[in-house]
Amino acid sequence: MYELFFQKFNEKVPLTSEEQEQIKAYLTPKKLRKRQYLLQEGEVCRAIAFVEKGALRAYTVDESSNEHIIQFAIEGWTISDLYSYLTGEPATYNIDALEDAELVLITRTAHEELLRTQPKYETFIRLLITGAYIALQRRLASNISLPAEERYTCFTETYPDIAQRVPQHMIASYMGLTPETLSRVRKKMADRR
Amino acid sequence: MYELFFQKFNEKVPLTSEEQEQIKAYLTPKKLRKRQYLLQEGEVCRAIAFVEKGALRAYTVDESSNEHIIQFAIEGWTISDLYSYLTGEPATYNIDALEDAELVLITRTAHEELLRTQPKYETFIRLLITGAYIALQRRLASNISLPAEERYTCFTETYPDIAQRVPQHMIASYMGLTPETLSRVRKKMADRR
DNA sequence: ATGGTTCCTTGACAAAAGTCAAGGGTTTTT
DNA sequence: AAAAACCCTTGACTTTTGTCAAGGAACCAT
């Protein structure tokens, strides 16, 4: 159940098996069916979810009830409303499963205990967030400086697995485009070959 | 010289004065004149810069030699090409001073020493990056889901100080707009009052 | 002081993206 | 097996944004 989680953990910070058992005691497994919510806007985000299996997304809904996809997460990645998680403020994101999923949850209390007692956990989290920050900065740079087509190419090259598993209209939303526009961009690309 | 740096540090992680002196020994002060580079694309980013005074920006230059502003930093904030800093890869950003500036540099070697020897430093860095990550996620959300005008309003409300100190065309670039478009957006807003 | 940047604005036009509406192919549900 | 929901595509049209060009104000440097 925790294989991938500890694989990723060990890649960042090697653990002895005692440390691993110690940490494991704080983790909560959770299964989610497709379309089930992990978090709804307005609730407090109680856990960081590491994806062992399946796919999830985080999204907002605006006044015109358009969905805007903030983030995808598949095997090996984490997802949460970090702001809500850390501050206890109501979440602004919804998170739900795009496929049946198996998660490893780090609840807020587990997080705080682990930070207090296990220095390697703090290092792990620091590296995790640093990686997420760098990835996000790339995404933002591509968003403000590239035209739609290059943004899409860039996305499919960086995340070929997500591009295949997720409906196109969600990818459009992730890139800040309408489904129609992405459809046309793809057509134009196809016509050129 | 390090007042603001340690003020911010203590807000996140309180330090004894011995700890503070210990950390201070690893820091490097640096002054920068307006228009001077802190980092040029292709170099390796050797330091995280904390701004004690002044204003800086990070930006990329594309094939058509358009500048795209990735980040601003004024008093109390940090700036760097974090990816280059951590991996030693050549930087993809340029960083320069928009006003005469006083910086506190954390060099890569200082960073590693501090991580090894001073647990509170790791906590400080973790909180720093977490804050940056959350801010970036907000910026991205506003970028993909809001029209230009609301994005601009949101920016000026969140960073009124930056909005006033920085040339408009840089703010346009930061938001992924041309200077002309931002100028028109502002005109439209002004006409409505 | 003056000549040169830099910065902002405006106009006319072009390109990109959004909106609305319809249709058809899947998959899911009942 | 039929109905419903979902997803993608396409067309016609509108809105938003970008591009190119010009001009004027403010700031700088010699």
- Quick check: B141 and A82 CB within 8 A? no
The integer distance in angstroms from the CA atom of B177 to the C1' atom of C5 is: 23
pLDDT in tens, chain A (193 residues): 899 999 999 999 999 999 999 999 999 999 999 999 999 999 999 999 999 999 999 999 988 889 999 999 999 999 999 999 999 999 999 999 999 999 999 999 999 999 999 999 999 999 999 999 999 999 999 999 999 999 999 999 999 999 999 999 999 999 999 999 999 999 999 988 7
The integer distance in angstroms from the CA atom of A169 to the C1' atom of D7 is: 8
Percent helix, strand, coil in chain A (nearest 5)?
A: 50, 25, 25
Chain B interface mutation, best of A82, A114, A144, highest count of B Cβ atoms under 10 Å: A144
Ranges of beta strands (E only) in A23-91 are: 28-32, 37-39, 47-53, 55-61, 67-74, 78-79
Indicate the CATH number for domain B3-145.
Answer: 2.60.120.10
The three-state secondary structure class of B118 is coil
Spatial separation of the C-alpha atoms in residues A6 and A1, rounded to whole Å:
10
Q: Is the CB of B38 under 7 A from strand C?
A: no
Residues in contact with A134: Cβ distance below 8 Å, sequence separation at least 6, in sequence order: B82, B83, B86
Tokens 């002309």 map to which residue? Answer: B180
Tens of pLDDT, residues B149-159 = 999 999 999 99
| pLDDT for the residue B99 | 95
Residue of A nearest to B64 (CA): A145
| pLDDT for the residue A54 | 96
CB-CB contact of A87 with B154 (8 Å): no
Q: Is the CB of A181 under 7 A from strand C?
A: yes
ipTM here: 0.95
> Distance from B65 to chain A by nearest Cα, in Å?
12
Asked whether residue B175 carries a pLDDT value surpassing 80, the answer given is: yes
Strand D bases with any atom < 7 A from protein Cβ: 6-12, 16-21
Residue nearest to nucleotide D8 (CA to C1'): A183
Q: List the domain boundaries for chain B.
A: 3-145, 147-193
Bridge partners (DSSP) listed for residue A50: A78, A104
Q: Which CATH architecture has domain A3-117?
A: Sandwich (2.60)
Tens of pLDDT, residues B111-144 = 999 999 999 999 999 999 999 999 999 999 999 9
Asked whether residue B193 carries a pLDDT value surpassing 80, the answer given is: no
Tens of pLDDT, residues B13-43 = 999 999 999 999 999 999 999 999 999 999 9
Spatial separation of the C-alpha atoms in residues B63 and B76, rounded to whole Å:
33
Asked whether residue B65 carries a pLDDT value surpassing 90, the answer given is: no
The three-state secondary structure class of A135 is helix
- Quick check: B145 and A174 CB within 8 A? no
Residues on chain B touching A82 (C-beta within 8 angstroms): 130, 133-134, 137
- Quick check: B176 and A82 CB within 8 A? no
Mean pLDDT across chain B: 96
